[in-house]
Structure 1
C-alpha cells in the first residue's frame, strides 16, 4: 500500500514538472513579450529615439499591443533581426527591404508618402563655395556615402557614376560611410569631405535646419539619381496575420492624426502611407542586377 502511494506521489510530481516545462509563452504584443519595431539610424540616434518612442506609444494606443523600439547602429542589423525573428516590424529603405525580402521573406505592407510622392531621388551635394560643379570635378576628391544598403545615399549614386563612365572604386581620393544622411551633410558642411550623397529631402529636415539655418543656400546639388521607391514598413516572416493587419491599420490611423503627422514629419519627413506590394521594389532589384551588385555582400562592407 505504501509503495503504491509512493508511486502515485512520484507520478504526480513528474506530471507537475512536465506541466511547468510546458508553460505557455506569453502572447506576442504583451508586456512580457513586446512587439519589437526596428528603425534604421538615418538620423542622429538621440533624436530618433525620442521620435520612435513617441510613435510607438501612438501605435500601442491603436493596437493594444506593447511595442518596443529598436535602433541599431546600421541598416544591416535590422535586416538580420528580421531574419532571426528578433525584430517583428521595421521601417526600411528600399534596398534594405529588398535584401530582407529576398533573404528572409520579410514582406512590405506600406510605402511612405513624402510631398505627395512614393518615390524620391538621391542627390550629390557640395558646399556652395566649392569649386566642384560637375561629376567630373569630383575626381580625386573625398566623398561621404550614407550606408552600404542606402539606396539614395550609396547604391543609386554609385550607379549614376558608373552610368556616366566613372569607376566609383578608383574615382575618389577617399570615401567614407557617415552612417546617416544628416551626418553626410555635417561632413560636407564642416569640410571633412568635399561632397556627399543624401536623399532629396534631407536638407529640408527641421533637425538639420536647426543646425544650418541657411543650408539650402550654403550647399549645391550637382547631380541627381533616377527615381527610387520610398521607405517601407516591413513585417517579418511568420508574423501572425492578425498582428500584421493591426500594425498596418495603426500606421494608417496614426498618420491621419495631428499628433501623428507632427511626429512623422520630423525627422522622417513622412506625410503618410499607402498599401504596398513587393513588386513595387523591383526597380531596386533591376538596378542592382544591371550593375552586378550583390546586396548581401554590400551589407557586409
Structure 2
C-alpha cells in the first residue's frame, strides 16, 4: 500500500511538472533593420538561417520589416526573437523595453565602424563645404546613416537643420548612393560596409561618386534578443555565431555575406556613447 502511495504521488508530481514546464520554443523568428533592400537582406540571411536551424535544431524564419521602428516593436512585443539592430536602434529598443533587450554578438568590425560622406560635386571637399547644399541621410533611425554622421557634423560646428539648404532621408544606404549618383542631392552619408560592397560589385564608380570624409570609428551593429529568452536557447544561439570559422569554406561563405571575418561577444555597455550622442542630438528623449 505504501509502495502504491509513493508511486501515485510520483505520477502526480510528474504530471504537475509537465503542466507547469516552460513550453519548448519551436520557431526562431528573425528580422533585421531595413537598411538595404528587402531582397538583399533575404539573400544575406538565407545561408545564416540554414546554419542556425542545424545548430539550434529548430525552424528559423526571417521576416523583413517595413521600417526601423517595426524591428524595435517586433522584438519588444514578442513578435520577433532575434533582430539585427544598428547601434542606435538597439539603444531605442533597450529604452522602449525598460532595459530588457540584450545584444549577444556583433561583427568584429562593429567595434570600430565608420560612415562615409559622398558627393559628385567637385566643390565639396570638407564637411564645411556642405553648408548651403542639398544633403541626404539614410533612415532617421540609422546609426551609421544618420545619428553618428549628425553628431560629427555638429562637432564640426555644422547644424544640418540650419546650415544646409535641404535635408532628405533616403531610407536606406543603397538609396543614398542612388540619390547622390543621380544628382537628386549634392551629397549624402552611408555606412562604409555598404559603400565598399557597392564599389566592389561595380554598382558605383568611385571616380564619379567619391568619398570626401570618413568618420572616426564607433560601435554599431549587433544581433539582439529579449532578456526573457530561454537562457539555454540564448547560449546555443550565441555559441552558434561565435563558432563560425573563416577557415571552413561553408562558414566563410556565411561570414562573407555578413561582411565580416568573425562574430565576437558584445554587451549593452558598448553602446553608451551612441546613447549619449542620440540624447545630445535630441533624437532620444
TM-score (norm 2): 0.84
Partner of 1:263: 254
Matches of 1:265 and 1:70, distance apart in 2: 21
Match of residue 103, structure 2, among 108, 125, 144: 108
Over 3 Å counting, the alpha-carbon distance change for 1:193 and 1:264 in structure 2 is farther
What is the CA distance between 1:73 and its match in structure 2? 2.1
What is the CA distance between 1:118 and its match in structure 2? 2.1
Partner of 1:11: none
Question: Which range moves more in the overlay, 156-165 or 238-247?
Answer: 156-165
RMSD over equivalenced CA pairs, Å: 2.3
What is the CA distance between 1:25 and its match in structure 2? 9.3
Partner of 2:155: 163
Matches of 1:144 and 1:62, distance apart in 2: 41
Indicate conservation of the 8 Å contact 1:149/1:295, yes or no.
no
Match of residue 53, structure 1, among 46, 53, 62: 46
What is the CA distance between 1:190 and its match in structure 2? 1.4
Residues 220-299 of structure 1: pairs in structure 2 closer than 5 A: 220-256=210-246, 257-266=248-257, 268-289=258-279, 291-295=280-284
Matches of 2:220 and 2:42, distance apart in 1: 21
Deviations 1:97-146 (A, max 9, x none): 111122212101112123xx62212221112x532122222122221111
What is the CA distance between 1:208 and its match in structure 2? 5.5
Match of residue 130, structure 1, among 122, 135, 140: 122
Secondary structure of the residue that 2:243 maps to in structure 1?
Answer: helix
Gaps of 5+ in 1: 1-21, 297-301
Does 1:210 find its partner at 2:201? yes
Deviations 1:49-95 (A, max 9, x none): 12212221111011111111121122211111111011101111111
Matches of 1:262 and 1:185, distance apart in 2: 26
Indicate conservation of the 8 Å contact 2:137/2:189, yes or no.
yes
TM-score (norm 1): 0.80
Match of residue 198, structure 1, among 143, 167, 190: 190
What is the CA distance between 1:221 and its match in structure 2? 2.3
Indicate conservation of the 8 Å contact 2:151/2:281, yes or no.
no
Indicate conservation of the 8 Å contact 2:126/2:212, yes or no.
yes
Aligned residues: 264
Deviations 1:22-68 (A, max 9, x none): 9x99631x2xxx11111122222112212212221111011111111
Gaps of 5+ in 2: 1-18
Matches of 1:131 and 1:40, distance apart in 2: 34
Partner of 1:12: none
